[in-house]
Amino acid sequence: MGLIQAAYGNAITFTSYQLFLISTFKGAGALIAPFVSTQFAELPHWSFHYLISLGIAAVNATFVALVFKGKTQDECLAEIGQETESDEKGEINEQSHLRQIISIKAVHLLALFLLVYVGLEVTIGGWIVSFMIAVRGGRPSAGYISAGFFGGLTLGRIVLLPLNKKIGERRIVYIYGLVAFALELVIWLVPSLVGGAVSVAIVGLVLGPIYPIGINHAGRVFPPRLVADVISWTASIATTGAAVVPFATGAIAERAGIKSLEPVVVAMLAAILVLWALVPADKI
């Protein structure tokens, strides 16, 4: 948290603190998962993995219940000193917030941007192991390459914070996207297992900050009364990318072979850059 404050100064909000921390811990969980799953894959009772997942889900549900205790959104916002809907004067439209959100084109552009990003993140983290084994001749230990990707993802969300502030979050996304684009071309075209593994880790490093930057951008673009709902909507849509995009990638790989992974990833990176250019830079 101290590094976040040093990078952003007093301008960063409490919500932004939470956003960067949550995104970092998410990346840390994704970093640990390949190490654990690789060990389970070598055990006779590999299906015990599902019992561990069930236990983690139960712990998460317990913590959510203890933290929020059934409180409404307005009650949670009031506790941290944020203005609630009931405090606003003359700004509430007769339409529901959901209808307002659906009617704003920028919301859908941001949601689509995050959907492709999350799909890309999960696709690389999951399918890169199959690519390295089948195309680059890696062994089962290539599963740790996925850990390298998520390790870079976690690290990038912390160590690149000063760079985000210095260059500007709007511009830095293009830089990160272009660096990842170039590295994915290396993974695709250069037949080197070690070079590919290093490139994957660096791709994770530069992609890491993009998701929290995208979510944080909602606070700059949309009216304060809609920000919480916009973030909820876009994050929900983005989550579907984690299911739909890897599934589509797998379907393509089944027809065209796992070699098709890298062209698909490169195309998604190009799509992310185009969508970011379409998302409004200023308040609507």
Minimal CA–CA distance to 84: which of 93, 95, 75, 96? 75
Q: Which of 6-20, 73-87, 124-138, 214-228 has the highest mean pLDDT?
A: 124-138
For residue 37, give the H/E element and its range.
helix 14-41
Give me the amino acid identity at 256.
A
Per-residue pLDDT band for 4 (boundaries 50, 70, 90) equals very low
Question: Rg of the Cα trace of the chain?
Answer: 20
Question: How distant is the alpha carbon of residue 193 from its chain centre?
Answer: 26
For residue 47, give the H/E element and its range.
none
pLDDT, one tens digit per residue, over 163-182 is 888 899 899 999 999 999 99
Query: By percentage, how much of the chain surpasses pLDDT 90?
Result: 31
Any idea which of 83-92, 102-111, 192-201 has the lowest mean pLDDT? 83-92
pLDDT at 210: 93
Minimal CA–CA distance to 148: which of 260, 35, 21, 42? 35
Given 3.30.1490.100, 1.20.1250.20, 1.10.569.10, 1.10.760.10, which CATH number is that of 2-46+97-278?
1.20.1250.20
pLDDT, one tens digit per residue, over 188-243 is 999 999 999 999 999 999 999 999 899 888 888 888 778 878 888 888 898 898 88
Per domain, the residue ranges of the chain are 2-46+97-278
Q: How far apart are CA 209 and CA 277, in angstroms?
A: 17
Which stretches within 87-192 are classed as H helix? 97-102, 105-134, 143-159, 161-167, 169-189
pLDDT, one tens digit per residue, over 120-155 is 999 998 899 889 988 888 877 777 888 889 889 888
What ranges make up the beta strands (E) of the chain? none
pLDDT, one tens digit per residue, over 110-120 is 999 999 999 99
Per-residue pLDDT band for 81 (boundaries 50, 70, 90) equals low
